[in-house]
Every structure is written in structure tokens, then in C-alpha cells.
Amino acid sequence: MQTEMIEGRTLEQWSPNEVAAALARNEVILIDVRTPQEFALERIGGALLAPMQELMPQHLPVGGDKLVILHCGSGIRSKRVAEIALAAGTDKIAHMAGGFAAWKSGGHAFTGTDVATGAPKELGGKPGASLAAPGV
């Protein structure tokens, strides 16, 4: 993880591997800032949707025992939303470097759309990999 200070507040940049591990341990809240259309087509299991164009930084679930990590398609929008949240007074927030593209390239599981049926379908993932916490 890389850390950047913006006006005295902390912006963390997490790799997809770090995000996957933290999700498996139930330590973070992952928020997808892409459009509803992008989210409907393919998404990371357990991620919440808060589209960038409608997101209000003051409504982010920050300050609790879980760090909020934002993600988008490439990492550009999520970093911008994180910067907006910091400027609005959030003390600490993170975003996923490389976004959903890096998540998929890293071989992590995600929910996509079965082109034959239009139904959700689990895709990606390394053989034997799971987002479940160890021992669950």
C-alpha cells in the first residue's frame, strides 16, 4: 500500500491483492464509483455501488472500524472521488490502484454477465481461490 498526504489527510492506494485479502478478512468496505450500467455488467462481489456523479462525500461510511476503499474501472475516477472526500473533511480513505481492470488482470473472482442468458455469472478467480475468510 502506498500513502499520500493531501492537505493533512491520508489517501491510501491499495493493490488488488491487498483489497482481496482485506475483503476476505472483512476489514474494509469496498465502494464501486462506476456507473450503474458498468456495475450491472460486471462487479466485485461484496462491493457497494455509489456512482461518482451522484456520490456525496459526507454520506460515505467513514470513521468506523473499517476503512473505505473506492474503486472504478482504471483507478482514475476512484482517486478523484477519494480526493474530493478528503477535501470535504474525510480524514482517511483509500482507492484501488488500477481499478477493476487490474482486479481482473490479477485473476480475482468477480460477477459478470453470462452472454448466453443475461444472468449473473461468477467469473475470473484463480483455481481454488475464494473471497471467504480462511477457515470459513
Q: pLDDT-based confidence at 126, cuts 50/70/90?
A: low
Instruction: Convert the pLDDT of each residue in 7-64 to its tens digit.
Output: 888 899 999 999 999 999 999 999 999 999 999 999 999 999 999 999 888 888 887 8
127 pLDDT above the threshold of 70? no
Q: What DSSP designation does 64 have?
A: S
- Cβ–Cβ under 8 Å, residues 33 and 70: yes
Instruction: Convert the pLDDT of each residue in 23-37 to its tens digit.
Output: 999 999 999 999 999
Rounded CA-CA distance 105/100 in Å is: 8
